[in-house]
Chain A
Amino acid sequence: METLKIPEWLKQGGQPVCAGAVIREGFIEKNLKAVSSFLKEMLSVRNPASGPAGGLFQGVSARARIGGVFVLLVGAVFMDNAISLFFLISTVIFIACLSHAGLFPLLKRVVPAVIFSLVVIWPVFFNFFTAGREFLVFDIFGSRVALTEEGLFQGGFFILRVTATASLVSLLFLTAKEADIFGGLKGLGVPAFFVTAIFMTFRYVFILLKIVEDTSLARKSRTINPAVMRDGKRWFSSRAGFLLQRALYFSEEVTLSMAARGFTGRIKVFASVPLRGKDYLWLGFAFFVFFMSIGRF
């Protein structure tokens, strides 16, 4: 008689789970849920603002939009006064509103970058890093800790710059379809091989995420108790290997199917649409801000 083999991880159990009990999610499930929902929300759902008739910014060609935003980004890096950065952020908000991108989606993308920067920069606000005129004094376990004006100025300026750059990038991706972005990159002279690879990667990320989701669900459906951390890491390693194997397998399959459809390795791209008046106006504005930002007067 054939014996039934039960995997070790299924036999090790600890306390049995009662009916109706809520099983705490492991780090794998938490990550998967967060990543999948973010990607689906950000990418799968068509943003009405990204349509061709969406608004002000959509009227500018993708090539000019990307070029102009890049010039403004460089300008933002050069800016050395808070007024210029405020002006840039206000301009982005103004364009986002006129392009029907909305303030909330913009904030949703910018706020995480700002929070991350705050976590990095907070020691700069205090006297133990930046000496200066004390603004607010705390007594922490007998130690004198104070916010300094210089620290607030330096840290605040840093946060302002990060806000400006993050909002510029967010504006671009909130007001453009992914195909426009890739088309625009081609138009700016980025090699076709690179752009095509980016475009394909963008699609394949979803396929690989679906594989990970499916394998996670398959595991979950066979597990009674929540996985301990060690098991989770072990499972992750094996699934990451499986994922890479699937990626390589799919790449061969896709290559064969492309070859079957006549792809010889030469990437042909459509000729770029010539720039129009609005495009020149936008580029002119971007260069103007850039030249203003590199000046010291």
Chain B
Amino acid sequence: MHIPDGYLGPRTCVLFYAVMLPVWYKALKTAEKTLEARHLPLVAFSSAFVFVIMMFNFPVPGGTTGHIAGGALVSIVVGPWVGVLAVSIALFLQAAIFADGGITTYGVNCFNMAFLMSFSGYYVFRILDRGQTNSRCNSQGNSRTRRVALFVAGYVAVNIAALSTALILGIQPILEHDPGGRALYAPYPLQVTLPAMLIPHILFFGPLEGLSTAFVASYLFKTKGEDLSREKTFVSPMWVFLLVLITLTPLGLIASGKPWGEWAGREFSGFIGYVPAGMQRLGGLWAGLLPDYGMEGVPRSMGYILSAFSGSAAMVFVIYLVGRLWRR
């Protein structure tokens, strides 16, 4: 499930960084508020646990190996927001040290394994375990029903993450291809990625994740005798709305053609038969220093190189200015 650099197109990478930024912000704020920064070691140790636990590969039928992701397990034990942080940190270290995963695809990997796994696992467990939590019929909190709830939470969480990974990989040939139709990034279509990801997860990795979640968490509940989660989680309607928007956003990437509202005069003329007077008057008033990334009298490729050089110089200048202002 760790998607390396180079497998996904820039639009997908940017989109998922944008999706994860508010999630990380909210996770940080929640962790600071509910745990206080004094409890920073809890986040760090949870991350270290996820890091270590992901390193153990189990042999599975078919000659391959698999490991548990631990997202559902950690979120059930320490809460979903801390779970998001813990898995995100573990994924960063894996990408940095082992090149397992990627830096440009970090947002996508965190979305799948930190966000989706943590929340789906946590809420599936909460819903299935509601009776147990309310009645407190079992002081050890370790009944068969609870173990089943833990198993289902782990199973569902890893399969949701696998489904999301398959979808993201499978839409790459649609989103990113050259004029000849050849894929520029991950080349397999949804017909390939969906069964390739889902069949092993439904049959092998899902049960493995479910069993590990059930055994490890019930061992903890048994020895601790209490629910360890310290977070108060409340999903407001605003967050549900944002979540729906986030889920639907990738659909926009499939759209082709010029972005809405960025039409030139001639394109407008094609749509409605004429160019509005105001647009005709003001359009092209400021053509830019280097219109169309080129220069008059300079070959197009050379013009582009000069534009790139100018843009780089401008960026460096802006960084320099910001640095100077920041120091004051």
Contact = CB atoms under 8 A, between A and B. Distances in A.
Interface string B183-211: 11111000000000000000000000001
Counting contact residues on chain A (CB < 8 A from B), the size range is 35 or more
A158 B185 contact: yes
Interface string B285-315: 0000000010000001100110111011101
Given A42-B97, A243-B52, A245-B224, A27 B41 contact: no
Interface stretch (A52-60, A133-141, A192-200, A217-225): A192-200
A254 B39 CA distance: 9
Interface stretch (B1-9, B123-131, B231-239): B1-9
Nearest to B315: A287
Nearest to A192: B37
A284 B53 CA distance: 41
A215 to B, nearest CB: 12
A27 B58 contact: yes
Of B90, B98, B103, B311, the most chain A CB neighbours within 10 A belong to B103
B97 A173 contact: yes
Interface centre among A109, A130, A150, A193 (most CB of B within 10 A): A193
A241 B215 contact: yes
B48 A297 contact: no
B89 A247 contact: no
A88 B46 CA distance: 37
B293 A240 contact: no
A14 interface: no
Interface stretch (A17-25, A75-83, A96-104): A75-83
B111 interface: no
A96 B99 CA distance: 17
Interface in A242-289: 242-245, 247-248, 250-252, 254-255, 258-259, 263-267, 274-275, 280, 283-285, 287-288
Given A76-B6, A208-B52, A255 B304 contact: no
Given A154-B187, A237-B211, A77 B47 contact: no
A197 B43 contact: yes
A91 interface: no
Given A166-B4, A169-B96, A250 B45 contact: yes
Contacts of A153: 182
B104 interface: yes
Interface in A112-145: 112-113, 116-117, 121, 124, 129-130
B212 A237 contact: yes
B89 A194 contact: yes
B247 interface: no
Contact of B40 (A193, A241, A290): A193
B182 A150 contact: yes
A95 interface: no
A252 B313 CA distance: 50
A158 B32 contact: no
A110 B5 CA distance: 12
Interface stretch (B155-163, B260-268, B316-324): B316-324
A240 B216 contact: yes
Nearest to A287: B312
A40 interface: no
Given A124-B187, A207-B48, A251 B39 contact: yes
B85 interface: yes
Contacts, number: 246
Contacts of A76: 5-6
A10 interface: no
Nearest to A271: B327
Contacts of B220: 241, 244-245
B274 interface: no
Nearest to A85: B6
B308 A169 contact: no
B115 interface: no
B97 A154 contact: no
Contact of B45 (A27, A251, A263, A265): A251
Nearest to A296: B304
A110 B32 CA distance: 37
B10 interface: yes
A157 B300 CA distance: 26
Contact of B44 (A129, A201, A259, A264): A201
A250 B41 contact: yes
B48 A201 contact: yes
A196 B7 CA distance: 30
Nearest to B53: A240
Contacts of A80: 178, 184
A245 B223 contact: yes
A200 B41 contact: yes
Contacts of A290: 312
Which 9 residue pairs across A and B have the least CB separation, nearest first?
A241-B219, A165-B5, A291-B308, A200-B44, A237-B215, A204-B48, A287-B312, A265-B37, A161-B6
